[in-house]
């Protein structure tokens, strides 16, 4: 006599727990966050590559978590965000200390929130999978989850509001003069703090970088299509591959009245117009 085959349905372990779903949401949030750079800087090779990598990682992690029974699969989401944190650690101190640079600040605040969720939920879901096996307790949300997410959302919202307030009230030091009477221009992460500066004839210009992001300055400018044009106007001081990574450099003097242009070769669209009078 044959033993009847009983179909009990998909094993419970293929279902995603609340923490597992949160891990998936965090991983999907990565390419969405990266894609915001299209609106800030336009479409270029760098943001296409990074967004593509984010989409690929999200597809791989989500596919493995949804399609397999591997209890350790949520850990992949945590690994993704450990790599993200390692890759962005160099920019975080500058970004978080400059709320006046709204996009950079907001991007990194949201990125840190996603990192906290991705790492925490990924590790938590993995531990939960092994601790509860296939029991129904595996799929319920921990009691603390709602409060933790609400608290994190409140912190993020507060920091974004601070950024908006600071950006709406720019500091006068962004364009000022040093004690020697020289005009000063500060470097932001990927732009000059001001794009036009007035320089008295015969004076020098002080360029200040109070962060740790490299800039390479040269005579010329980026055009509207994102193409650099290296050219020095008649009477302009020679500025060729002036590397600034923290600290300051003097440019000039500017002995002839006129309009001059310099740009950063590393950051598309980063132009400064110098008006000498």
pLDDT digits (tens, 9 = 90+) for 183-216: 888 888 788 888 888 889 888 888 888 777 888 9
The average pLDDT across 50-78 equals 92
- Element holding 156 (H helix, E strand): helix 145-168
Residue with the bigger pLDDT between 106 and 179: it is 106
Determine the 3-state secondary structure of 10 from DSSP. Answer: coil
pTM of the model: 0.69
Q: What is the pLDDT of residues 134-170, one digit of tens each?
A: 555 566 778 888 888 999 999 999 999 988 887 776 5
Q: What does the pLDDT read at residue 12?
A: 43
CA dist., res. 127 & res. 56, Å (int): 25
DSSP assignment of 97-146:
T-TTSHHHHHHHHHHHHHHHHHHHHHHHHHHHHHHHTTSGGGGSPPTTHH
In the predicted model, is pLDDT for residue 269 greater than 90?
no
Helices (H) and strands (E) in the chain, counts: 7, 11
Compute the mean pLDDT over every residue in the chain, rounded to the nearest whole number.
Answer: 83
Cβ contact 180:201 at 8 Å = no
Q: Is 183 strand, coil or helix?
A: strand
75 vs 187: which has the higher pLDDT: 75
Give the strand pairing for 228-229 and 196-199: unpaired
Decide if pLDDT at 174 tops 70: no
For 174-276, CATH number?
Answer: 2.60.40.420
Whole-number pLDDT of residue 178: 57
Given a cut of 90, whether residue 80 has pLDDT beyond it is yes
CB-neighbour burial class of residue 70 (10 A; exposed 0-12, middle 13-18, buried 19+): middle
Strand pairing report for 205-209 and 247-251: antiparallel
What is the pLDDT at residue 86? 92
Q: How far apart are CA 74 and CA 76, in angstroms?
A: 5
The pLDDT score that the predictor gives to residue 46 is 81
Give tens-digit pLDDT for 246-259: 788 888 888 988 89
Candidates 85, 81, 82, 77; CA nearest to 129 is 77
Checking if the pLDDT of 21 tops 80, the result is: yes
pLDDT, residue 82, reads: 95
**Predicted confidence (pLDDT) at residue 102 exceeds the cutoff of 60:** yes
Pair 55, 33: CB distance under 8 Å: no
**Residue 247 has which token pair?**
């600290």
**Domain extent listing, the chain:** 12-168, 174-276
Of the two residues 184 and 176, the one the predictor is more confident about is 184
User: What per-residue confidence (pLDDT) applies to 139?
Assistant: 65
Q: Which token pair is 56?
A: 């690929």
Six token digits for residue 226: 């994102």
């Amino acid at each position: 006599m044959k033993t009847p085959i009983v179909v009990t349905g998909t094993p419970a372990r293929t279902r995603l727990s609340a923490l597992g779903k949160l891990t998936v949401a965090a991983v999907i949030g990565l390419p969405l966050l990266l894609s915001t750079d299209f609106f800030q800087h336009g479409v270029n090779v760098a943001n296409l590559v990074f967004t593509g990598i984010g989409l690929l990682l999200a597809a791989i992690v989500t596919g493995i978590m949804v399609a397999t029974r591997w209890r350790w699969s949520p850990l992949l989401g945590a690994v993704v965000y450990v790599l993200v944190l390692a890759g962005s650690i160099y920019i975080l101190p500058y970004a978080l200390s400059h709320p006046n640079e709204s996009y950079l600040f907001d991007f990194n605040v949201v990125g840190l929130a996603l990192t906290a969720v991705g790492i925490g939920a990924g590790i938590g879901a993995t531990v939960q999978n092994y601790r509860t096996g296939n029991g129904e307790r595996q799929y319920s949300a921990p009691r603390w989850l709602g409060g933790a997410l609400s608290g994190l959302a409140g912190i993020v919202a507060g920091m974004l509001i601070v950024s908006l307030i600071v950006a709406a009230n720019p500091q006068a030091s962004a364009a000022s003069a040093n004690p020697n009477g020289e005009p000063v221009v500060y470097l932001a992460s990927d732009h000059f703090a001001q794009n036009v500066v007035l320089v008295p004839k015969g004076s020098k210009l002080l360029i200040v970088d109070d962060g740790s992001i490299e800039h390479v300055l040269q005579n010329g400018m980026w055009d509207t299509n994102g193409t650099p044009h290296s050219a020095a106007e008649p009477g302009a001081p020679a500025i060729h591959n002036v590397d600034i990574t923290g600290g300051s450099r003097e440019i000039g003097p500017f002995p002839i009245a006129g309009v001059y242009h310099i740009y950063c070769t590393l950051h598309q669209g980063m132009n400064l117009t110098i008006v000498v009078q």
